[in-house]
Amino acid sequence: MKHHEREFFISTIRSGKVFIEHNDIFLIIKPLTIDQNVQASIIYDKAYKQAMVDGIMSEDQISDWMYESGLWHPVDDEKIEVVKKDIEKLKIEIYNNRNDNKLRERIRLYIRAAEKQLAIQSREKNTYYQNTREGYALSEKISWIIKNTTYCENELYDFKDISLSYIVDEWQSSILSESVIRELAREEPWKSLWSIRENAKIKLISNSDNEELTANQKHLIVWSQIYDNIQESMDCPTDEVIKDDDLLDGWFIVQSKKREKERLEKEFENKNTNEKIKNSSEVYVMVDPNNKQSLERVNALNDPIANAIKKQRSQVIKMKGAAYQHDFPDEKQKLQIQATNSMRSSIKGG
């Protein structure tokens, strides 16, 4: 994004308004006031109840109907989960391979492809959302918001020359994507405004006191705070990582997993007071067969080396059917090191 584009977005976001120009008519959509927000919620609630009376299915009912009609299968849900996990794995991979330009860019292509796949699958799943109670109620709520916040020359607009649906579309398209917001948050002109806001006593947002923050305003502030927190992190990534959304997402996931592992380790150490077990080379932790998360929690205790050893061992067991401890590559390696050390000390001693 060029500087002037960022400048445009930032000034628009700061104003809190959406500016629409169509056939020489200038419209302004103002931010919702707190009272209007309450009214909008009441409209949603009324529409939802009316839809229920009219026999419109809820989101859950539509979901059940889609399963029953064969339009959606449990396996499709699993596919979505798999793609989500794949994206997570790829983001870790891209972070880990950030210094290998060729590989990094290849992984980035995979991420984009996976995201595209996820978008297609999510869209398919939500095909009938508009026909649900929730979809209907949301549409009523948005229509009410637009009708009550769209102004033309300081008067509420009457929608004679421009249709409501056109303005709704414009309003929805004014909500910026996460990647744009992230770029705005970390680049000029916002970056310096954000950093001097307290010393210079700048009013970053021009909303009046009773006006709610818009979606863009909230996202921009949240991301600005996230970037501040990253800079304060003990394990702060490089600027190259911070400026690349995929790399930074990878860093987030890696940090989150690291923290989770530390938390689980601490929990394990506190829970298990038996020093013999804690200091064993293989620790077996009982898992609840009804709770798959308990299995994942145990596996999360392993560091990458332990995970690699487990994989190697698993392959040996699968291949041989039955294996002894000394068949495992890690044990062979240990024996090799032991032999080398003994030989070295024997030669030195001799």
Partner 1 sequence: MSHAPNNRIFYACQAVAIGKYQNTGSQPPAEPLDRVTVHGVQSVGINTTFNLEQAFELGQISIYENIEGLPDIEVTIEKVLDGYPLIYHLATSGAQNDSLVTRAKERCNVALGIYADDSEAISGVAPVAVLMSGMYVNSISYTFPTDGNSTESVTLVGNSKGWFINSANMGMDSNDAQALKFGEDTPMGSGGIQRREDVLMESSIMPVSIYGISTDIVGNNYDVTTKRPIAHIQNITISTDLGREDILELGHKEPYYRSAAFPVEVTSEFEVIAVSGDFINAYVNGDNTVITPIKIVLRDGTTFDLGTRSRLSSVNYTGGDAGGGNVSTTYSFSTFNDLTITAPSVFNT
Nearer to partner 1, 203 or 284 (CB): 284
Nearer to partner 1, 5 or 296 (CB): 296
Smallest distance from partner 1 to CB 192, Å: 44
Sheet containing 25-29: which strands, arranged edge to edge?
18-22, 25-29, 150-152, 155-156
Smallest distance from partner 1 to CB 200, Å: 48
Smallest distance from partner 1 to CB 103, Å: 24
Nearer to partner 1, 177 or 274 (CB): 274
Instruction: Using alpha carbons only, give the angle 97, 98, 100 rounded to the nearest 5 degrees.
Output: 70
Nearer to partner 1, 99 or 290 (CB): 290
The amino acid at residue 334 is: K
Furthest CA-CA distance within the chain: 102
Cα separation of 222 and 256, whole Å?
Answer: 18
Residues 6+ apart with CB under 8 A from 27: 19, 20, 21, 150, 151, 152, 157, 162, 167
Given the rule CB under 8 A, which residues bind partner 1?
Answer: 269-272, 274-292, 294-295, 298-299, 301-303, 305-307, 309-311, 313-314, 317-318, 321-326, 331, 334-335, 338-339, 342-343, 346-347, 350
Nearer to partner 1, 99 or 270 (CB): 270
Cα separation of 26 and 161, whole Å?
Answer: 11
Question: 13 exposed, middle or buried (CB, 10 Å; 0-12, 13-18, 19+)?
Answer: buried
Nearer to partner 1, 163 or 315 (CB): 315
Q: How far is CA 348 from CA 3, 150, 280, 340, 345, in A?
A: 68, 88, 32, 12, 5
